[in-house]
Amino acid sequence: MTDVADTPPPGEKGAVAELIEIIKTVAYALGIALVLRVLLFQPFTIPSASMEPNLYQGDYIIVSKFSYGWSRHSIPFSPPIIKGRIFNHAPTRGDIVVFKLPRDNRTDYIKRLIGMPGDKIQIRGGAVFINGKELPRKPLAPALVDTGYGFTQQVQRFEETNPEGRQYKTQDFGPDSRGDNTGVYTVPAGCYFFMGDNRDNSADSRFDPGVSPFKTSACKWDYELDQYIGDEVGVGFVPEENLVGRAQIILLSWNAQASLFKPWTWFLDARPSRFFHVLK
């Protein structure tokens, strides 16, 4: 005979079953979101001005993970469970790419792909030379930009055209700033050379990556270049497996003053003109 006292009331049974269903639904949703994030798309927020005038601090972008295939860096926390890349597709020069900083393999960086494996890259007077040929630059109207130090400064803007015919805007504070005159970089096999579109406000492949195991990897840095650009710590060459994905679209955008904890800034500091802007 069943002891009546040991049988849960019908209401209690229903509450337990409902809690289990909620937990299962949340688990399914998190699992689907993780799969989508790893295999298809991942959102990023732009934290700095290094890609102006094409990406601004506060832009909320979507990056396609499938564009170049997948590596361990496609997975959160970069667990060493994948060697190299699966379904690898080489990026195209001119792509805006999110990659893991080779110095620590953790920090996400976003720059434009300038140099392919085997290319010889040099910057002279702010102009980019690829394999001895200068990239054409059409001057655009100068602009006033916020320096982030409480004052504005006039900058020169250009429309640059790369060897594949892709055109994009760049920004330059002058022809003699850091990184405007360099030696020749020869991009190693399996590695890429990146630059920010805001050429005088970007720590990128022009600059020594600093002391790290990276210097003994396949993308070994050429120490002879240090004399040209000082002691700025930058990115160096980027290994193929560090590529995370291609930046495709600015989904939403807010000014830097917007805050999650100040709901009125969600509207007052929004930049609707940048919403749903496809990147090129």
111 noted as active-site residue: yes
pLDDT at 3: 52
pLDDT means per 10 residues in the chain (280 residues)?
A: 55 71 77 68 92 96 93 88 89 97 92 97 96 97 81 92 97 88 93 96 88 59 48 83 95 88 88 94
pLDDT at 149: 65
pLDDT at 7: 60
DSSP states along 76-105: TT--TT--S-BS--PPPTT-EEEEE-TTTS
In whole angstroms, what is the distance from residue 235 CA to residue 105 CA? 11
pLDDT at 165: 96
User: Residues 229, 240: contact at Cβ < 8 Å?
Assistant: no
Tokens in use for 133?
């040929």
50 noted as active-site residue: yes
pLDDT at 126: 94
In whole angstroms, what is the distance from residue 242 CA to residue 172 CA? 28
Out of 111, 202, 205, 253, the active site residue is 111
pLDDT at 93: 97
What's the longest Cα–Cα distance across the chain? 94
In whole angstroms, what is the distance from residue 198 CA to residue 169 CA? 9
Q: What is the pTM of this model?
A: 0.84
Indicate the helix (H) or strand (E) that contains 10. Answer: helix 10-39
User: Residues 263, 55: contact at Cβ < 8 Å?
Assistant: no
